[in-house]
A and B are shown apart, each in its own frame.
Chain A
Amino acid sequence: MSTQRYQALASSSAFKTSLIVGLLVLGIAGFAAFNMEHEGHYITGMSNQVVWGIPHVFAIFLIVSASGALNIASIASVFNKDFYKPLARLSAVVAIALLVGGLAVILLDLGRPDRLLIAMTHYNFGSIFAWNIILYTGFIGIAAIYLWTMLDWQVERFKRLAGIAAFSWRLVLTAGTGSIFGVLVAREAYQIAIMGPMFIVLSLGYGQAFYLIVIGLFMDERQLSKISERLSRLMVMMILYGLAASVIYHLSNWLLFDARQFEHYLLYSETVFPLLLWGVHLVIGSILPIWLLRSGSGPIKLILSGSLVIIGGIAQFYSLIIGGQTFPMPLVEGYEATSSFFDGVIVSYSPSSWELMLGSGGFAIALLLIVFCLRLFRLLPVDR
């Protein structure tokens, strides 16, 4: 049996550029986080009406993507597809990096980030959020063990077992992340059991989009040419699955549940959300990358299509998370409400530069972790 060989990333211009960009964005994010912590959240666009803003959109998107980024490794280990086996190591690294990036943003946006120890030691086991804290930290551990079984031949025999554990864990993790919203009975946008499964399906495409960007940036072109066509086809499938999940979500809101007005608000109103969903998510984030991926492959096309899918995904999560909060909650059935606390009206939200800076920090952390691991470990496949 021939053995696959791997190499670490050379000190290339892509590595150096990524390092500089990553550190720069991380520094800016750190400054924003310090300022938000020092001044308080009044300097952000968030309010008592829109309590989760763009940092949460970025963070939850990164966390969901982390689960999907492990897809390549899962196909290799769990479903035993030889083609994907050389790509599995990098897949686990991207998954861990995205999760750490997402968690860092959530942590730094807390009102009291200094109370991290409390979050780690006081658990309300009835809370889906508390369960998610365990799921996230557990995923980092399990994915790290999985990576170890792939890197060290002495523990290689546990690879499949670790792969199955990581695969199962990530399904629960993504369903758990979706359920953070699913259990919010108060809000019409989320009160449906579809949130968990939908997040699982969406994660596949978004995670792979990150993976495509990473291999487009760091894998040498000869290796890339061998895999890009098949990965492009897989990406197209994942985009279509994601679209199908979105259609089911919106249709079920429209047809089966008491959320038709909310759907109208998302899809047809004079707000930013129809533009985000139809224009950015559907056209720019789905149709355009499908067309790009079908029209041939190459590093630039992989990076571009991956980036477009991510932009479309962020637009979708923005609509879901922000739209769900700006839409008014009913107080008394049959009555229109007005108050000093914005009852009965669509509330406005404009993300501040502080929030955008902090949110970008999650991407920077993920990028830095990926390039450090690429440089430290042999993750990139080379010819036998």
Chain B
Amino acid sequence: MSQINQYRRKFLGAASAAFTGLSIAPGILLQTVHAKANDEAVTSKQRWGLLIDTNLCEPGCTDCIDACNQENGLRDIHGPETDAQWIRKVTLKHQKTGHVLNMPVMCQHCAEPPCVDVCPTGASFKRADGIVLVDKHICIGCRYCMMACPYKARSFIHEKLTDQLPHAPRGKGTVEGCTLCVHRIDRGENTTACTQACPNGAMTFGDLKNPESEISQKLAQHSGKELRAKLKLDTGVRYQGIQG
């Protein structure tokens, strides 16, 4: 082999390595700036939560619900009595002042979740980062968690399902609810489908333990209420704009 050919071969090798490195580097760098790397263990350093500004939540808008349904493969089957609803739009009217507000209600991801307390097999569990989930492998479908949930945030799957999405395992005879888009969080994304879909920015997702996060900043500025605060469940979802 001539000397020129050897140089050319070395040059091409070095160029390919540099090109490959440049292609991979942004991905690696992106991982480091995101909330959590895909292979990074879940820790209690974060507590994920949502802040909902009811003043910005428009009546009749169902964008967050539609986004959730699409993200997790939920669809209408046998009607609202038995169909799963991970997120629902609630309209509230103050009994004295007549003040009307709208808000999405989903699993409140309590720090002291009653569903986890009552689950006989431990299928209902809370991750270190505060996300409350159901382990579909050991859920026996007793529905005791649904009896215990103060927010009616869980649904039971009443029929056979097909075409489930890989990141949202669901099955007949088990209980499910909002996962706070855990598949996104575990991919390192810093948002949920509902938050992303809200046209008015009424929903803010973030780390409640990080004082620099947008959600913590907003809470520090205007505070936020827990639904059924009397129960002292320390919910991860907070609401602004509720009177009284």
Contacts and interface: CB of A to CB of B under 8 A. Distances in A.
Interface of A: 37, 39-42, 47-49, 51-52, 106, 110-113, 115-116, 118-119, 122-124, 126-130, 133, 180, 183-187, 325, 329-343
B94 A334 contact: yes
Contacts of B195: none
A40 B228 contact: no
A51 B157 contact: no
B118 A110 contact: no
Interface string B130-155: 00000000111111101111111011
B50 interface: no
A335 B105 contact: no
A240 to B, nearest CB: 31
B90 A331 contact: yes
B120 A123 contact: yes
Given A187-B147, A338-B90, 7 more contacts: A122-B138, A329-B152, A332-B228, A333-B244, A337-B91, A338-B93, A342-B81
Contacts of A336: 92-93, 95
Q: Which of A333, A337, A339, A342 has the most CB of B within 10 A?
A: A339
Contact of B146 (A51, A112, A127): A51
B96 interface: yes
B159 A39 contact: yes
B152 A127 contact: no
Given A115-B138, A329-B150, A130 B120 contact: yes
Nearest to B94: A335
B175 to A, nearest CB: 7
Contacts of A130: 120-121
Nearest to A115: B140
29 contacts: A40-B158, A40-B160, A41-B159, A42-B78, A48-B83, A48-B152, A49-B81, A49-B152, A110-B173, A112-B141, A116-B140, A118-B138, A123-B122, A124-B119, A127-B117, A129-B118, A129-B120, A184-B114, A185-B114, A186-B231, A331-B92, A333-B230, A335-B93, A335-B101, A338-B90, A340-B85, A340-B89, A341-B85, A341-B152
A56 B119 CA distance: 17
A126 B144 CA distance: 13
B94 A48 contact: no
Interface of B: 77-78, 80-85, 88-96, 101, 105, 114, 116-123, 138-144, 146-152, 154-160, 172-175, 227-228, 230-231, 242-244
A186 B120 contact: no
Contacts of A40: 157-160, 172-173
Contacts, number: 177
B125 to A, nearest CB: 9
A127 to B, nearest CB: 5
A334 B147 contact: no
Contact of B140 (A37, A110, A126, A338): A110
Q: Which of B88, B142, B144 has the most CB of A within 10 A?
A: B142
A292 to B, nearest CB: 37
Given A52-B143, A124-B119, A336-B92, A331 B228 contact: yes
A42 B82 contact: yes
Nearest to A185: B231
Contacts of B117: 126-127, 183
Contacts of B227: 331-332
Contacts of A330: 228
A223 B242 CA distance: 70
Contacts of A111: 139-143, 156-157, 172-175
Contacts of A124: 116, 119-122
B89 A339 contact: yes
Nearest to A180: B144
A323 to B, nearest CB: 13
A186 B174 contact: no
B141 A47 contact: no
Contact of B148 (A47, A184, A333): A184
Contacts of B147: 51-52, 184, 186-187, 325
Q: Which of B91, B120, B148, B174 has the most CB of A within 10 A?
A: B120
A331 B88 contact: no
Contact of B156 (A41, A106, A331): A41
Nearest to B155: A48
Contact of A343 (B90, B142, B242): B90
Q: Which of A126, A129, A184, A336 has the most CB of B within 10 A?
A: A129
B96 A334 contact: yes
Contact of A110 (B84, B91, B141, B146): B141
Contact of A42 (B101, B122, B144, B158): B158
B88 A340 contact: yes
Contact of A122 (B82, B95, B122): B122
B232 to A, nearest CB: 9
A339 B85 CA distance: 11
Contacts of B148: 183-186
A221 B176 CA distance: 56
Contacts of A126: 116-117
Top 9 nearest A-B pairs (CB, nearest first) are A111-B141, A111-B173, A186-B150, A42-B158, A40-B159, A335-B92, A47-B81, A129-B120, A51-B143
Nearest to A324: B147
A42 B172 CA distance: 10
A52 B141 CA distance: 11
B101 to A, nearest CB: 8
A47 B83 CA distance: 9
